[in-house]
Amino acid sequence: MGTFLYFNAISVVRFQLQHDFAYTLENIYNLPMFNVSTTLEKFAPAIAALAHEYNILSSGDQAEAPIDLLRTTELLLQLLGIYFKKKGTGTIDRLVISSQELPSVDEMIDRRRAIKQIAPMIFIIESAHGNEYFVSTDDFALKVHGNFGDALHCLTAIHYVLYIEYAKELLHFNVLLENLCGINTNKMPRGRLNLKMDLEKKMQIISQETQ
């Protein structure tokens, strides 16, 4: 009888842990934290303006780029490469994978491993009905309801909640997003500090021009 109760207790605990884990994943977007999506959207015009100054964005595309947060993210990664002189910075293909059809979780893992990326990534599934977004790790693929900014926010939240380290080549990008949210601003490396200050200056100029 005692053995039965012991194994029954283990089953109950296992079920509770599985439920808590699933609940955390489903509600991870709503956890209280800095909002990456809102911050990226806020700084998007400044990112586009600075990218234009560095000749990585044409005048014609400058007005449209802030609307597309995926494009904004790509521009921000390129700016990091400039400010750090291409040392220790990643590219968009280390963060995002696009596909025309929905792959299985195993296929998502295989595609990440094929490019030797062990950190979580965003999968964009393109279709005639619009894009769908997933965050993929080695253990699960979480569907994100919303746009690319929401997926990026969710990706950041997963790193915090599951104690996952940022990919080494994307560290400056991810921490810059934190810095722009007003977090971890002490002892910033010069390249990231200069980029943050330049973006904030651009924000002030844009704000004054629109008043």
Q: Mind listing the pLDDT tens digit of every residue in the chain (211 residues)?
A: 444 343 343 333 344 434 444 545 555 445 445 688 999 999 999 999 999 999 999 888 887 888 899 999 999 999 999 999 876 578 999 999 988 877 777 888 888 889 888 889 999 988 778 888 999 887 778 889 899 999 999 999 888 888 888 999 999 999 999 899 888 788 889 999 999 999 999 999 988 887 6
Residues whose CB is less than 8 angstroms from the CB of residue 153 and which lie 6 or more positions away in sequence, other chains included: 29, 35, 36, 37
- Burial profile 89-127: b = 16 or more Cβ within 10 angstroms, e = fewer: bbebebbbbebeeebeeeebbebbeeeebebbbbbebee
Residue type (1 letter), 53? E
Pairing of strands 96-99, 132-136: unpaired
pTM, whole model, 2 decimals? 0.80
Pairing of strands 141-144, 132-136: antiparallel
| pLDDT at site 13 | 35
| pLDDT at site 170 | 93
Residue pair 121/97 in contact (Cβ under 8 Å)? The answer is yes
Report the distance separating Cα 146 and Cα 133, nearest Å. 8
Residue pair 36/149 in contact (Cβ under 8 Å)? The answer is yes
The C-alpha angle with vertex 78 and arms to 199 and 47, in degrees rounded to 5, equals 25
Report the distance separating Cα 42 and Cα 16, nearest Å. 40
Structure token pair of residue 98: 């696009």
| pLDDT at site 32 | 43
| pLDDT at site 195 | 96
| pLDDT at site 30 | 53
Structure token pair of residue 6: 């012991």
In order of 12, 38, 71, 129, the CA distances from 61 in angstroms are: 57, 21, 10, 25
The C-alpha angle with vertex 42 and arms to 36 and 47, in degrees rounded to 5, equals 95
Report the distance separating Cα 113 and Cα 20, nearest Å. 28
Q: Reduced to 3 states, what is the DSSP secondary structure of residue 98?
A: strand
